[in-house]
Structure 1
Amino acid sequence: MNLIIHHWDTDGITSTALLVKALELKEFINLSPPIGEFRFDERIRREIEKANRLYVLDLNLPHEVEGIDKETIFIDHHIQPRIMNPMVKQINPALEGNEAPSASFVVSEYFNVWNAWSALGVVGDIGEKAFEIPRVHQLLERERLTREEALKIVELIDSNYIAMDRESVEKAPKVLLENHVKELLSYEPWLKKAEAIEKALKDALANAEVKNGVAFIEFKSPFNIISKVARKAVWELGYRGSLVVNRDFHGKAQVYFRISPDMAEEVNMSEIIAELKGKGFNAGGKREVLGCICERDKIGEVLEIIKDHLR
């Protein structure tokens, strides 16, 4: 039995469809880790025990396969250490200091299978910048897909993980394999999810309170939209920063802080992250972004630390 373990986003899903097509796999099981958790859970480990061959796609989890005694093909594009397990064939241009815009491109390059899925993986990972890559443009043009249609298909595929629907994430590669790429634009289950997500985004943004150019936004939603809310506030609505709180995300709280490049000169995000971690919070990020998951009764403490740095 062939087992494919893949990331839950468009790149992971298109990479899976490309692999199945390239190898002409008639029988396979594909699984995603729990959404938002970069680990193999017990469900995945049970299937690994039963599998004859394993494929791991677009998951930066080299440590998870070090102890596996099954023939494994590990395809990725993230920076990562070499896998020492001789049972694992690691295919990643980053190991040689090269870059790939998506795992879908790595799969396509390795197996020489190129189609619209190859391009959609890139659009899913780097957004609008994907259209600056000539090959992405050529592949979409070949399928007569416009830029807007490609972005829409990515939005529809990603609606599954944003809705925290692991079962639909795992069904998605077969939806790609069984439908022409243009037909995905009218695939009803994904359209309904995307509409519900769009409404939740609008409702959240409608609650924005602005002070000194920073939007403070609070909402409750089971959808994993917090980063999208923050991005829209800064990139589309033009706020210098956005501090966003989802007060009830499956029993936990999410806090997300994004700032514009000009505000990055005033706010030291790494200091805030370090202080949050020092207080025991699960926090991470980079120069312009901070994300934190905490207990709901700890929201005030997290916000106070961030606001202290803003003052």
Structure 2
Amino acid sequence: MDNEIWLSMESLWDILTAGSVFIVFHWDADGIASAAILLKMLGERIVGFYPPRVGVYSLEALPWRRISESRASVLTVLDYGLPGTAYEDLSDIVAPRSVAVLDHHLVEPPRSRGRGVLHYVNPVAQGLGGEEDWPATSFLVYSIPGVGEACDARRCSWLAAVGIVGDLGPVIEARPRVYGTAARLTGKSGYSLRDIAKVVELIDSCYRLLDEECIVHAAQLLGWASGPRDVLDDNRLSRAAEEAAKALRTAMDRVRYLFQRHGIIAYYVESDA
């Protein structure tokens, strides 16, 4: 394995602040919160941010036209969960631009840089910890040396908790260590995990509607928000949550019983969202 692809946390910030950055981020709460932290920290260095096509995990799903038009020097991919071979290919495709990947999913890591410049940070894939240590990519971004301190000073550590609560949901209460981490991050900003759960429900409504522009809006909103209240009071996200709830009710009304066999009950449902 080419050890040079493993970018140290200390070096990561140097890469991200060396030029202009385009962010590709997963469409759920963790990806959105991860992007929002970088938006707060990097400001005008970020020349674009957009999710891949919702529900699709492949390089083809990336927003290629936007990436090309941005002319960013660093393409940063957050929380997307692709295997390492995909990032080797991505590095080849976008060269001479750099590719920086931050993730916490258990995937096969890259084995080489390819022909491009690939910086890969995924402690779980690298065998440097498990989900208890790295429960969300937002927490990984927050843990970059200097970022956590800056977030604490700006009362934005709650963003790291958004990713944790978003990924684990109610299960977080059965994970004392992770629950404690999320509560500590939220408490630093003076909010509760109940506030964070409400934020997650709102921003996750966007991907449930397959609405990529809503996802971008959520990331931008979290990027400038002073706290959860700015998110909870947002009209666009409130409408999205109402639409998602309506779509779910409609889908449930269409559920059709198929069969019960060997302890398994099968139903059929069809929905656009």
Counterpart selection for 2:269 from 246, 256, 259: 246
Is contact 1:145-1:182 (8 Å) kept?
no
Between stretches 115-124 and 190-199, larger displacement belongs to 190-199
Paired residue total: 225
- 2:76 aligned residue: 55
Structure 1 or 2, whichever has the larger Rg, is 1
From the two aligned structures, give the one with the greater strand fraction: 1
- 1:175 aligned residue: 221
CA 1:56–1:141: 2 relative to 1, 3 Å:
same
- Show structure 1 runs of 5+ residues with no match: 215-239, 251-311
Distance (Å, rounded) in 2 between the aligned partners of 1:43 and 1:78: 18
Between stretches 106-115 and 4-13, larger displacement belongs to 106-115
What percentage of aligned pairs have identical amino acids? 26
Is contact 2:101-2:120 (8 Å) kept?
yes
- 2:5 aligned residue: none
- 1:148 aligned residue: 194
1:28 match: secondary structure: strand
Q: Per-residue CA shift, 1:191-250, capped at 9, x if unaligned?
A: 111112223323444555679989xxxxxxxxxxxxxxxxxxxxxxxxx86644333538
What TM-score results when the alignment is normalised by the length of structure 2? 0.73
The answer to whether residue 205 in structure 2 is matched with residue 130 in structure 1 is no
What are the equivalent positions in structure 2 for 1:262-301 lying under 5 Å apart?
none
What are the equivalent positions in structure 2 for 1:188-203 lying under 5 Å apart?
188-203=235-250
CA 1:245–1:190: 2 relative to 1, 3 Å:
farther
Is contact 2:101-2:121 (8 Å) kept?
yes
Distance (Å, rounded) in 2 between the aligned partners of 1:77 and 1:53: 20
What are the equivalent positions in structure 2 for 1:1-311 lying under 5 Å apart?
1-41=20-60, 44-49=63-68, 50-61=71-82, 62-66=84-88, 67=92, 68-69=94-95, 70-83=97-110, 84-85=112-113, 87-97=117-127, 98-99=129-130, 100-111=134-145, 112-113=147-148, 114=151, 115-131=157-173, 132=176, 133=178, 134-180=180-226, 181-206=228-253, 243-249=266-272
CA 1:82–1:31: 2 relative to 1, 3 Å:
same
- Show structure 2 runs of 5+ residues with no match: 1-19, 152-156
What TM-score results when the alignment is normalised by the length of structure 1? 0.64
CA 1:154–1:42: 2 relative to 1, 3 Å:
closer
Q: CA deviation at 1:19?
A: 1.9
- 2:4 aligned residue: none
